[in-house]
Structure 1
Amino acid sequence: MTDRRETPRPGRRTKPAQKDQAGPKDWDDGERIAKWLARAGVASRRACESLIEDGQVAVNGRKLTSPAFKVTGRETITVKGKRIRPPEATRLWRYHKPSGLITTTVDPAGRRTIFEEMPKHLPRVVTVGRLDLTTEGLLLLTNDGELARSLELPSNEFQRTYRARAHGKVTPEKLEALREGITVEGTVYAPIVAELERETGTNNWIKVTLTEGKKREVRRALEAVGLEVNRLIRVAYGPFTLGDLAPGAVEEVLPSELRAELGNLLKTSQSAPDDAPWKGARKRKPRQTDAKRGLHKMGRSRTIPKK
């Protein structure tokens, strides 16, 4: 049995079908509730499915327990008692994550999160993947959880490019080992392209390009060949680059660029109609407490060395 329908027992009197207002009358109408919630920016599709299975999602007052349910968007849909608005046009932002922030909404340990540092006028957004506590650089944000999932999937092969400062001797043999793919403590890493950019004493700047984005992949892979990473900056994700975006700043990707780069992942109804930037896409000004915490200073410290 699913939340969508129930087969009546022989001889059992049932209510007319038109009385059931919980979902579409035809299973071919609408889209699955988890996908709809993801497009509305609630969370990833997988996380939305978990919310449904936990009984935290309701449609027209009816609590769901299975994601096998479709909606058209005309229903009253709530998550944890809060009504969710229908998905808006898909938007994407570039964010320069500083070191020292956690990529999560709430941290049980009480550490500062990226969402505590972002402009309050941003809409509900989800991150495309994560960057760990000390990793800096480009983090993509979107109001469309389904797009985030597509960008994260290894099968779509969106390249992630990093600049890593690592202690240790860089040799052609070590770079070749990374290119061939390595296994670290049972975890298999796909081929990683690493290029020596600059030597600075006992440290080296290495350009690293990969397509999987597994947890701590760059650090673990380089450590496996004897290179200890002491600074890591993501400079590109797919076609989007960090550029000169200042630490802590958020900037929206124009709709025309979004369609040009990711049009195959967007429905026509999902893309914004013009290049007028969303009115809330302003750069964040650092707070006075930022300098005290040593997180970042706009346009001053933590610059990436040039070749």
Structure 2
Amino acid sequence: MREGEVTVNGQVVNADLEVPDSSLVFFRGYSVPPPPTRPTLWGARKPRGVLCTLDAKEDISTLGTLLRKGEVYDDKTQMGGFGVPHHAYMVRRLPVTAEGIVMLTNDPEFRDRLTDPLSRIQTMLHVKVHGLLPADNLRSMWHGVTVRGVYYGPVWVELMRRSWSHSWLRVRLVETGETDLRELFRTQKLEVKRIRRYAFGPYRMTDLTEGALVPLSIHPALHHLIPRREKRMALTPARGQIRVDSDSGRPLSIFEALRTRSVAVGPENLNSGAAGEGGRGTAVWEAEEAREEEEVLQEYCEARAQRERSTALRALGPELDDEGEEDESDDEEEWRTRVKIVDPQEGVDEKNS
């Protein structure tokens, strides 16, 4: 962005700003689509002796360097074959001496929810230890353990296999940024020789290939952790053109555009810029308005005459007031409600009568 390689709707941007999905974003000439409604998740197998970072280091091999060897990256788009950017977020890092499954996502909020201890996502590790196994002490970890002021929570330890020199243990716990298995087993007089993260939540290491990045679907058990995108109103450039009055220069509404003199609406002058003072378009509309007013006036006069006739018949006697007259009065009131015309002499006539 500092080099002016990012454009939004054709304008170069040099600072962070919120961009709606309808905007056109380009980076180095390549279109950048809006983020998906759901985050993306990948998985990889980290070998031993590899630093758990996507950055390249000169003195040590990194996970990012290893993944780029098996995946062709484009220098222009800074994207890989699976669409993994350089700024992908690791869900839970592993030490250099450890190996196993590593999860990556493109959503930092989703990463934070997956690593939050309150989410209660268990991690399964295979740990190779040297020493005599204290069976009773290992069972006591099921109820929770605290080491040097760090609470590990319940830790389930099971024996996988044993030999005369070492043992393999299956350990299940909720990892945090402060948990250290070497420190944990040192309290049990066990020396950790090897750590392998076998599973993280519903994902297992056997589902992945070493040295490759595999896209993973979000398991249904993790759907409640997916961040919800907020729908907010945003100002976006309007499509089309705004009609402007040629005399005053102010914008016109869709209703004023048909009646103003600056817009030609007559069939003979449809393509002209303005009808003018004596244009044919304005004359057509004035004629139509005069015709409509004449029709309304005629209907009103007919209704007035009908009402006067009904009043005269009622004055002659009730024997002449039949059902037909009552129906005509009802029709008259219905018509008056429809056209919304109030007779100013109506109150005077009733008072005189």
TM more than 0.5: yes
What's the CA shift string for 1:23-72, capped at 9, x where partnerless?
xxxxxxxxxxxxxxxxxxxxxxxxxxxxxxxxxxxx984746xxxx9664
CA distance in 1, matches of 2:130, 2:47: 21
Report the residue type matching 2:224 in the other structure: N
1:261 matched to which residue of 2?
221
1:148 is paired with a residue of what secondary structure?
A: helix
2:34 matched to which residue of 1?
86
What's the CA shift string for 1:65-118, capped at 9, x where partnerless?
xxxx9664567999xxxx986323522122111111111233777321101111
After TM superposition, the score normalised by the length of structure 2 is 0.50
Q: Indicate how the Cα distance of structure 1 residues 62 and 75 shifts in structure 2: closer, same or farther if over 3 A, else same.
A: farther
Contact 1:168 1:203 in 2 (8 A): yes
Q: Is the helix fraction higher in 1 or 2?
A: 2
Say yes or no: does 1:199 pair with 2:190.
Answer: no
CA distance in 1, matches of 2:155, 2:203: 19
CA distance in 1, matches of 2:171, 2:206: 17
Report the residue type matching 1:236 in the other structure: A
1:26 matched to which residue of 2?
none
Contact 1:97 1:248 in 2 (8 A): yes
Say yes or no: does 1:144 pair with 2:107.
Answer: yes
C-alpha deviation, 1:134, in angstroms:
1.2
CA distance in 2, matches of 1:161, 1:63: 43
1:243 is paired with a residue of what secondary structure?
A: helix
Report the residue type matching 1:262 in the other structure: L
C-alpha deviation, 1:153, in angstroms:
0.5
CA distance in 2, matches of 1:105, 1:243: 22
What's the CA shift string for 1:139-169, capped at 9, x where partnerless?
1122222211111110000000001000111
What's the CA shift string for 1:220-263, capped at 9, x where partnerless?
21122111111111111111111253332332224xxx252322
2:274 matched to which residue of 1?
none
Report the residue type matching 2:150 in the other structure: T
After TM superposition, the score normalised by the length of structure 1 is 0.57
CA distance in 2, matches of 1:204, 1:241: 22
1:223 matched to which residue of 2?
186
Say yes or no: does 1:95 pair with 2:58.
Answer: no
Contact 2:110 2:227 in 1 (8 A): no
1:8 matched to which residue of 2?
none
2:215 matched to which residue of 1?
252
2:206 is paired with a residue of what secondary structure?
A: coil
2:315 matched to which residue of 1?
none
Report the residue type matching 1:196 in the other structure: L
Q: Indicate how the Cα distance of structure 1 residues 167 and 245 shifts in structure 2: closer, same or farther if over 3 A, else same.
A: same
CA distance in 2, matches of 1:84, 1:129: 28
| Structure 2: runs of 5 or more not aligned | 1-7, 73-80, 231-353
Q: Indicate how the Cα distance of structure 1 residues 217 and 109 shifts in structure 2: closer, same or farther if over 3 A, else same.
A: farther
1:105 is paired with a residue of what secondary structure?
A: coil
Say yes or no: does 1:181 pair with 2:144.
Answer: yes
Output the aligned Cα RMSD.
3.4
Report the residue type matching 2:34 in the other structure: P
Q: Indicate how the Cα distance of structure 1 residues 132 and 84 shifts in structure 2: closer, same or farther if over 3 A, else same.
A: farther
Matches within 5 A, 1:1-307: 61=13, 63=15, 72=20, 86-88=34-36, 89-106=38-55, 110-118=59-67, 119-120=71-72, 121-122=81-82, 123-124=84-85, 125-215=88-178, 217-243=180-206, 245-254=208-217, 258=218, 260-266=220-226
Contact 1:61 1:76 in 2 (8 A): no
1:3 matched to which residue of 2?
none
Report the residue type matching 1:99 in the other structure: R
CA distance in 2, matches of 1:144, 1:71: 17
Report the residue type matching 2:161 in the other structure: R
Q: Indicate how the Cα distance of structure 1 residues 63 and 252 shifts in structure 2: closer, same or farther if over 3 A, else same.
A: closer
CA distance in 2, matches of 1:186, 1:266: 32
C-alpha deviation, 1:207, in angstroms:
0.4
> Percent identity of the aligned residues?
28
CA distance in 1, matches of 2:122, 2:143: 17
Q: Is the strand fraction higher in 1 or 2?
A: 1
CA distance in 1, matches of 2:211, 2:178: 23
Greater Rg over alpha carbons, structure:
2
CA distance in 2, matches of 1:247, 1:132: 17
